[in-house]
Amino acid sequence: MNEISGRERKAMAALGRWIVMMSMLLLMAGCATTASRAPLKVTDGPVDGRRQKVIATAQRSVGVPYKLGGTSINDGVDCSGLALLAYRQAGVALPRSSNQQYHFLPKARVAQPGDLLFFGSKGQAWHVGLYVGNNTMIHAPGKGRKVQKTSLDVAYWKSHYLGAGRLAP
């Protein structure tokens, strides 16, 4: 029977440690990678009549109470209900939820006033706001709050941005 010398045993142990260490490094590198996010890019250009209707509806909604499932300025809105209501004023029918809206609308690389901005993770939108120009959006932030205008410079919005949905021509 072949016996393993002390030198061979040490070499095998070193090789085993090296394999374990490389495996751990590869696993950690895999965990450190994240899916790339679209950068939040906006522009302020001319606003046509349909976009003006969307923006005007959003602006009239500022101060309206949040209401889960709501789609009425009189009774309250949630984020996707606000988008649905504003786009309805422009003659565009949207699906009900923010995720359905995200997957329904044509994508825009750079948002223009009147476009929808979607936020979430892993390709699933859980929040939507309306871009109204000047690096701001109007959105219904959640229970106990009111529809408000907010800056897109907030790190939270940048870190959860999925993309923009275009008000189709």
Active-site residue (options: 31, 103, 139, 160): 139
Sheet holding 124-133, edge to edge: 107-108, 161-165, 116-121, 124-133, 136-139, 148-151
Is 104 in contact with 87 (CB distance < 8 Å)?
A: no
Q: Which of 31, 103, 127, 160 is catalytic?
A: 127
Task: Write the CB contacts of 129 (distance below 8 Å, at least 6 apart in sequence).
Answer: 79, 116, 117, 119, 137, 138, 139, 150
User: Is 139 noted as a catalytic residue in this protein?
Assistant: yes
Known catalytic residue at 127: yes
CB contact at 8 A, 162 and 102? yes
Q: Do 61 and 85 touch, CB atoms closer than 8 A? A: yes
Indicate which residue of 31, 79, 103, 160 is catalytic: 79
Report how far residue 70's alpha carbon sits from residue 72's, in angstroms, rounded to the nearest whole number: 6
- What does the alpha-carbon distance between residue 62 and residue 69 come to, in Å, rounded to a whole number? 17
Catalytic residues: 79, 127, 139
